[in-house]
Amino acid sequence: MTKRIDFQVDAAAYKHWRVSYEGPVAELVMDVDENGGLFDGYLLKMNSYDLGVDIELSDIVQRMRFEHPEVKVVVMKSAKDRIFCAGANIRMLGAAAHSHKVNFCKFTNETRNTFEAAEADSGQKYVAAVKGACAGGGYELALACNHIFLTDDSASAVSLPEVPLLAVLPGTGGLTRVTDKRKVRRDRADVFCSTEEGVRGKRAQQWNLVDEVISNAKFDTVVAERVAQMAADSSKQDVAQGIALTPLDRRFGEDGSVTYSSVEVAVDRAGRKAVITLHGPKEDAPADMDAFTAQGAEAYMLRLAREFDDAILHLRLNEMELGLWEIQTQGDPEAYAAHEALLLENADHWLANEVLMLWKRVLKRVDVTSRSLVALVEHGSCYTGLLAELLFAVDRSYMMEDEFEGDNRPIAAITLTQANFGTVPMGNDLTRLETRFYGTPEAVVAAKDAMGAALEAEEADALGLVTEILDDIDWEDEIRIFMEERASFSPDAMTGMEANLRFAGPETMETRIFGRLTAWQNWIFNRPNAVGAEGALQRYGTGVRGAFDMERV
């Protein structure tokens, strides 16, 4: 699996999904092309999926919010007879590198979180109309919807059969949503996850595994009636027309660098490091939201978020030996602040809201990325508002103090805005500043009191906004020593340490999902019982059960 994985999709050329629109209702049909796998060596039978299927789904969910804001209810269903979705493709999982498996699981969970939150964030409700077998990751697709309909026949059931079949954890998002979202009793969840054939009919509804069970003869009619009523009851504002998400301006260099219109990714292979630079705007902020909407996907705040998101995903899946990401910003802080302020002041406008919610998702992607993250606040930077959130997402941050010889850029400063105090919370439902100062709310109050001021090094340090401030004498050596040290540590130790530190604060369903993905699933996917030559993943479908080392550790 060495070819570059691309997260940019041509909406006119989906292989695995069909989307149709009728007023406030969209129909999202899963019709996986079994010959359309992302890599060779497996067939995507029974509506099973690989990363390519999920990349398309992620693109559809994003376009639904920006290109089709008129949609209030999205109905997810299958085009296959007697099968909703068999989940992640087992042949793909058996052949994939460990790193690909874990990154694949992380992306699928992020995608499910995105459409699960669509009702709260955008007023778009997702419902699953399940006919046929709905197993493993297929049931995870349904679980992430806001409502699940199940047809009552002998072929239709929901299941999480990973324990009896594959010797792995029942999908990190699946098991967690069963207990935390659907509030299924844990003894019943134990039975459910140990039962290969799953649960069907009225029992599935009684256990709260689904919301409604409808007879097969009436299923389509009743679902259509329910969905029409959901759309009529929706409080989502009516929007006549969305904007097109046009292709990104993106160029790859022979050295692995990536250049976008406002984001640059430089690669230092010897240092096992990627340098991501986000640039401030070159143009003045639009006068109002009409002007912003007229700019469409070229509007700076939307363009920057999309480019940064693509860069994160590219580095995650295609540059896995670059274990350290150095994040920088450069630009005019006041010019940037004007662009951001337009969105914050018009947060009730559908497009301003969607751009802000996109920033929330992109920053969450930073939070759960298993790389060492450092931010440098150099002279000429524009760590303002949403961009300042990066300073509180990374593991460490260093800031230039006072003037540097030969450096004529404006003095390094950090400016907090309203965006830092509730607009883009983390997965633990706290702001990054609340997480940073967990248990010391007075530090958050002090930071809020400084909102709007351009805070230079000593002020930022006093407020606890950066890890360390360094002058001209120490900057180069201290940064070099930190980066060399970081690159020398065990990647496994770093992942464990960083994930534990980043998931500080109260536990939520989302932190449980990603915490378990980082720890439990990472471990289980390395165990011979699952992936060894005689493991369950390797023997799946052969008629021979996996041979297990029965030691409990």
CA dihedral 506, 511, 517, 518 (to 10 degrees): -60
pLDDT at 239: 95
Q: How far apart are the first and last CA of the chain?
A: 31
Is the separation of the CB atoms in 88 and 136 below 8 Å? yes
Where in the chain are all domains bearing CATH 3.90.226.10?
13-233, 251-496
Amino acid, single-letter form, for residue 164: P
CATH class of 13-233: alpha beta
Please give the model's pTM, rounded to 2 decimal places: 0.95
Is the separation of the CB atoms in 44 and 83 below 8 Å? no
Classify each residue of 442-462 as buried b or exposed e, where b means 16 or more C-beta atoms within 10 Å of its C-beta. ebbeebeebeeebbbbeebbe
Is the separation of the CB atoms in 487 and 271 below 8 Å? yes
pLDDT at 2: 63
Question: How many angstroms separate the CA atoms of 109 and 111, rounded?
Answer: 5
pLDDT at 320: 92
Mean pLDDT by 10 residues, the chain (553 residues): 85 97 97 96 96 98 98 98 94 89 92 97 98 96 98 95 85 89 96 94 97 97 98 95 97 97 97 97 98 98 98 96 97 98 98 98 96 97 98 98 96 98 97 97 98 98 98 97 93 89 90 84 83 87 86 77
The CATH T-level fold of domain 251-496 is 2-enoyl-CoA Hydratase; Chain A, domain 1 (3.90.226)
Question: How many angstroms separate the CA atoms of 406 and 386, rounded?
Answer: 30
